[in-house]
Amino acid sequence: MAERILMNEFKQLSKPGEIPWLNVQLGKGDNLFLWDVAIIVLNPTSVYNGGYFKAELKFPSNYPYSPPEFRFLRPLWHPNIYPDGKLCISILHPPGEDEMSGELASERWSPAQRVESVLISILSLLDDAEVSSAANVDAGVMLRKDPEEYKKRVRENVETSKKDIPEDFVMPTSAEIKPPPKDETSDDFWYDSGAESFGGSDDASLEGSDAEMIYDDEDGNVDTEDDDVDDAVSADEDAKRISVTPNRKVLGLNVEDSSRTATPRPT
């Protein structure tokens, strides 16, 4: 099941020009469980503007029940990014509430999430740092006490990141993103991207040979091969799914509509 879900997500996210602020490829050996990604900051007012930040996504074998791991491949100066490139962000924490941190289940990973919502949260985090719970204490202190020096340090990271831009890749400068049309025929939770306003996949369901297989059981009842997923996600949890819509200025995009919002919470 994980392979099928990941293949569908990869196909949608890697369409040329589909998501201007993202470049996605499969990892070494075309490993479907390891993605090479680059997050591109388009916001002209952002200190991270112009950055081509390479990272890797590692998916567990039981995806989407467990979250992927994300790590920037070059050092990036930010209060919520560890020196090894990993992030402290709620959406990548395992499902369920955490009494120690005070995180709600709705702020953390759930099987209803998609790769796109994770990447949007990370892009939003760059310009919306949470210094009170910093993973990089020095960066947090610098942002509070010496913001100009902080900006200087970040600009150095931005210039270094440009060395990773592929020779045949044209860096985007802006984008106009329209929310994808609603799909009235499919309710598969992993195809319903919460990021409706940021240029994700236009199709929320599979068609043709990739469509969900439907069959009759011994009693003649219609069943599907994905009933185990539907049973695992309760109606209550499904209603709490996160639809991450960060500040429009963070993305530097023209967004026509945003009907559901939630703020990604670093921890």
The 10s digit of each residue's pLDDT in 167-206 is: 989 898 765 444 443 434 333 433 333 333 333 444 433 3
Q: What pairing do the DSSP bridges indicate for beta strands 222-224 and 214-216?
A: antiparallel
Q: Strand, coil or helix: what is 53?
A: strand
Q: What is the pLDDT of residue 199?
A: 38
Active site residue 88: yes
pLDDT band per the 50, 70, 90 thresholds, residue 17? confident
pLDDT band per the 50, 70, 90 thresholds, residue 257? very low
Domain spans in the chain, listed from the N-terminal domain onward? 1-267
> Which backbone phi and psi does 52 adopt, to 5 degrees?
-120, 85
Q: What is the pLDDT of residue 264?
A: 53
Residue type, 79: P
| Cα dihedral 181/183/189/195 (nearest 10) | 10
Q: What is the pLDDT of residue 183?
A: 39
Contact indicator for 239, 194 with CB cutoff of 8 Å: no
Asked if the model's pLDDT at residue 24 lies above 90, the reply is: yes
Asked if the model's pLDDT at residue 247 lies above 50, the reply is: no
Taken in order 86, 89, 92, 95, the sign of the CA dihedral is positive
- Selected residue with higher pLDDT from 69 and 175: 69
Cα three-residue angle 30-34-38, rounded to 5 degrees:
100
CA 206 vs. chain centroid, Å, equals 21
The 10s digit of each residue's pLDDT in 103-150 is: 666 778 888 889 999 999 999 999 999 888 889 999 999 999 999 999
Average pLDDT on 24-45 reads: 93
Asked if the model's pLDDT at residue 152 lies above 80, the reply is: yes
- The percent helix, strand, coil of the chain (3-state, each to 5) is 30, 15, 55
pLDDT band per the 50, 70, 90 thresholds, residue 86? very high
For the domain spanning 1-267, the CATH number is 3.10.110.10
Distance CA 38, CA 72 (A): 9
Return the bridge partners of 223, or none.
Answer: 215
Q: What is the pLDDT of residue 109?
A: 84
Average pLDDT on 29-48 reads: 94
Asked if the model's pLDDT at residue 227 lies above 90, the reply is: no
CB within 8 Å of 91: residues ≥ 6 apart: 67, 107, 108, 109, 113, 117, 118, 121, 242, 244, 264
Distance CA 153, CA 122 (A): 19
Exposed (0-12), middle (13-18) or buried (19+): which is 170, by Cβ within 10 Å? Answer: exposed
Distance CA 85, CA 87 (A): 7
Distance CA 248, CA 261 (A): 11
Exposed (0-12), middle (13-18) or buried (19+): which is 128, by Cβ within 10 Å? Answer: middle
pLDDT band per the 50, 70, 90 thresholds, residue 161? very high
pTM for the model: 0.66
**Pick the catalytic residue: 22, 76, 88, 126?**
88
Q: Percent of the chain scored above 90 by pLDDT? A: 46
CB within 8 Å of 29: residues ≥ 6 apart: none
